[in-house]
Amino acid sequence: MEKKMSWTVGDAVDYKGFPADRSKTGGWVTAALILGIEIVERLSTMGIAVNLVTYLMGVMHLPSSTAANTVTDFMGTSFLLCLLGGFLADSFLGRFKTIGIFSAIQTLGTAALAISTKLPQLRPPPCHAGESCKPANGFQMGILYLALYLIALGTGGLKSSVSGFGSDQFDEKDEKEQSQRTYFFNRFFFFISLGTLAAVTVLVYIQDEVSRSWAYGICSVSMVIAIVVFLSGTKRYRYKKSMGSPIVHIFQVIVASIKKRKMELPYNVGALYEDTPEDSRIEHTDQFRFLEKAAIVLEGDFERDVYGSGPNPWKLCSLTRVEEVKMMVRLLPIWATTIIFWTTYAQMITFSVEQASTMERNIGNFQIPAGSLTVFFVAAILITLAVNDRVIMPLWKKFKGKPGFTNLQRIAIGLFLSILGMMAASLGEVKRLSVAKGAKGNQTTLPISVFLLVPQFFLVGSGEAFIYTGQLDFFITQSPKGMKTMSTGLFLTTLSLGFFISSFLVSVVKKVTGTSDGQGWLADNINKGRLDLFYALLTILSFINFIAFLVCAFWYKPKKTKPSMQMGAINGSSVEEKC
């Protein structure tokens, strides 16, 4: 029996529901099948996003600020829907079914987008220089929005589960597989960046030089192939049973503590309710002690059912459950101060692309598509990841005895680089506008090289390499074991809110500085606006946010690695309640 158990993974099952055989399930092969669907998702989503603003302005004839907000709202919704995907995966569907269902939805979205860009009836008539362009009508925009938000729904659903399902293929209790699991996380961002690289080069080129409908059709076909490959591993995957929604668990603690708000906490922490096995308990902390009232035992807190007597979770929660909620609350200041980075990131796929469309982009006889300028952004990410992995981490370990920067240090570096990126963007726009003022007539291409934009792409891209990996590491390692999926969703909401804040800022600046004839900082014609001042505003906001982050980082108390073994507890007689 002992020998048999050594060949199984304790907390995972196979597709039939039996304990997963270590030799026949999981490992790098299955992780690669899962990773493939995420690469195609990045290819589709980023290939659409980075070049969407040019389509909205050039084909649908929308004002620049409206086009920018449409893109950022689309991206923001994609990441916000990760919370929905995570909730469904934790509570009902499981990660495997969630990935399969929502990847199919994304396929429908890209197919609908291909159709909307192909049929002339779904676009306004083209216009020529000097003519008044007729913007897209409500029906045409409605079809476009339907396609975009089907893609957003698919992206949000599958993205919330891909990294978690991939990590499920490695047993964290096995030393060899634990190291492979760490390697999987380290390379996850690198490979999805390769998907982004293919999107901003090959896919954008096809959109501009061949046909957008062809490009979006390729996205649909690629996702179909990825789904087939993903499903081919059904018999080899390791599946972990759903442990319920952590959102419900958090609300249970909050509701129980509110119900007992008039109760006094006992002097002895050991008098609070605890039914968690001793080796799984979390060390008690003194912050947010109000929540501990949820663990005060009162008459009527226990209920009897077919399994025996047990606590009503809406009236009584274990002290470990309370400490888990405390851990999530402590994440919030760090969460809030990382949002502004993604607001600066949003400018790289909106206004920066619009800037590029007005500049000289030729290399010999080849003209670089405006959307492909983000290749420097992706290149910065890949270079930074490689240098950090091969140079910085070994040197840091040699001199400091630690394997690279901590997660909070990486976030700080990313935030600082974004400040420099926005500063470079503002100065570069000053130069571009000076050339635009001296241009003759309705000159569509300004006599200034597009490579002037490389510093802003490179600095913000390098910042993303640090902050993305830092955030992912921070939210996964500093959250309770049963709330990893939720904490990943919480991390992804920083991207979502960053895009929404970008839309909000654009709308406010447009209203405050705009005039009736379409002028102002964010003028309909970018050459007549003051985008440099908008970038300067973002530089100031980013600097203020950076100071706030440093304060929060010094305040934050990291998760204790060892559970408390000395805490007394009232042991419940109910069946163990897991997170």
- DSSP calls for 403-440: SS--HHHHHHHHHHHHHHHHHHHHHHHHHHHHHHHH--
The low-confidence residues of the chain, meaning pLDDT below 70, are 1-6, 9-10, 129-131, 172, 175, 177-183, 185-186, 242-244, 304-308, 401-404, 441-443, 482, 484-485, 516-518, 558-579
Report pTM. 0.77
- Beta partners for 13? 19, 239
Q: Which domains does the chain have, with CATH numbers?
A: 9-126+133-244 (1.20.1250.20), 246-327 (no CATH), 337-573 (1.20.1250.20)
pLDDT at 334: 92
For residue 240, give both structure tokens: 């972990």
Neighbours of 414 (CB within 10 A): 23
What was the pLDDT predicted at 570? Answer: 35
Q: Is 537:510 a contact under the CB 8 Å cutoff?
A: no
Q: What is the pLDDT of residue 575?
A: 27
Predicted local confidence at residue 267, as pLDDT: 85
Q: What is the predicted pLDDT for the residue at 347?
A: 87
Residue 376: the pLDDT is 84
Token duo for residue 79: 């990441």
pLDDT in tens, 304-339: 655 557 788 888 888 888 888 888 888 899 999 999
pLDDT of residue 3: 40
Q: What span, in angstroms and rounded, lies between the C-alpha atoms of 302 and 351?
A: 59
Report d(CA 62, CA 69) in Å as an integer: 11
**In 10 A of CB 391, how many CB atoms?**
10
pLDDT at 442: 62
- Of 553, 555, 551, residue with least CA distance to 408: 553
pLDDT value at residue 308: 57
pLDDT at residue 87, rounded to an integer: 80
pLDDT in tens, 421-460: 999 999 999 999 998 888 776 667 888 888 899 999 999 9
